Structure 1
Amino acid sequence: MASLSCSSSDSRERSTIMTTQESAPSFARDIQPLFRPADRVSMRWAFDLGSYQDVRAHAQAILGRLASGTMPCDGKWPEEQITLFRRWVEAGMPA
């Protein structure tokens, strides 16, 4: 597995996509929008953060880096977004 690192310094603007407690997050609706274009460019050398297959294949490593605050490289995600990503993983990573 490739190590995860990046070199972006974009501003930290992200909209949190909310899901209901009853529904599992989906990649297309909830997870893919969390990754900014600059995040995708920064990680392009390893895999595509816009690709369901790539993010699914690397989900545990991504979650570890998000939780530790080392991804994205220009600042930690808000806890709500990390929790959303974790819920998606725990739900079986639906498309």
Structure 2
Amino acid sequence: MAHDSTGFETDIKPLFREKDRESMLRYFDLWSYDDVSRHADRILARLRHGSMPCDGAWPEAQVNLFQQWTESGKRQ
């Protein structure tokens, strides 16, 4: 469940699997707070569209958690 203390290390990073990270490494590192924070708007757009990850869309709850994290200040 999304909450005000949603953090990258505890809540967001675990959403990205190793294969997600590997497929995106040429662009940015999904396990890097700085990279995900910097590209959060683009990542969220792809998650909402269902084009990320490439093997199937995230459940709505996970997309909403990522969006909540971006809107609440991208806590590390």
Please give the range of the TM-score, normalised by the shorter of the 2 chains.
Answer: over 0.9
**Alignment deviations for residues 35-79 of structure 1 (CA, whole Å, 9 cap, x no partner):** 000000000000000000000000000000000000000000000
How many angstroms does 1:24 deviate by? 2.7
- Out of 62, 70, 73, the position equivalent to 1:81 is 62
**Alignment deviations for residues 5-33 of structure 1 (CA, whole Å, 9 cap, x no partner):** xxxxxxxxxxxxx45x4x33100000000
- Out of 1, 19, 36, the position equivalent to 1:55 is 36
Q: Runs of at least 4 residues of structure 1 off by over 4 A?
A: none
Higher share in helix: 2
Is it true that 1:28 corresponds to 2:9 in the alignment? Answer: yes
SS in 1 for 2:10: helix
TM-score calculated relative to the size of structure 1 = 0.77
Is it true that 1:40 corresponds to 2:21 in the alignment? Answer: yes
How many angstroms does 1:94 deviate by? 0.5
Structure exhibiting the larger radius of gyration computed from Cα positions: 1
Q: Which runs of 5+ in 2 are unaligned?
A: none
